[in-house]
Amino acid sequence: MSDEVLDWVERVSVFLAEQYGQPPIAGRILGWLMICDPPEQSAARIGAAIGASRASLTTNMRLLVGAGLVSKRTGRGERTTYFRMESDAWERMIRRRIESLASFRQITQRGLELAGPDQERLLDADRAFGFMERIFDQKDQRDA
């Protein structure tokens, strides 16, 4: 594996840590699973590739599997578990982020009820989160 590939994996990790609050090891795992061949990898192979300890890898794999970003499988009669990135992992991550932002609108609307409709800072926030909510709803309608 080249240094360029490892540098790219590290860029993925830094991005996910800064933008989504993911632990660096989780970001490295996702980065590796995006670029590795074959797409299914054992924990030992992932750990060797990204330089992660078994304990750190286990903890972060549990996080990624629990979030639905990574799936695991064990073949019949095999003891080795293989991991792969879910095909819709990025869409899931983005949807959760949008849903979280859009749900904040309920809070801004309650603030407007308490402070009155002329509270400009709350109005700005409510408009922004309303925009997010509409965009999310439009995408859902197109997908249906």
Number of C-beta neighbours around residue 21 at 10 A: 8
Q: How far is CA 97 from CA 64, 72, 83, in A?
A: 16, 24, 24
CA atoms within 13 A of residue 83's CA, in its CB half-sphere: 27
Domain boundary among 68, 86, 104: 86
Contact criterion met (CB below 8 Å) for 45 and 1: no
Please give the single-letter amino acid code of residue 138: Q
Residue with tokens 């599997």: 65
DSSP letter at 20 equals H
Give pLDDT < 50 ranges for the chain: none
pTM confidence score: 0.73
pLDDT on residue 12: 95
Q: Are residues 26 and 56 in the same domain?
A: yes
Of the chain, the end-to-end C-alpha distance in Å amounts to: 42
Q: Are residues 30 and 62 in the same domain?
A: yes
Q: How many domains does the chain have?
A: 2
3-state secondary structure of 76: coil
Contact criterion met (CB below 8 Å) for 12 and 28: yes
Domain that holds residue 106: 90-143
Q: Are residues 14 and 56 in the same domain?
A: yes
Contact criterion met (CB below 8 Å) for 91 and 68: no
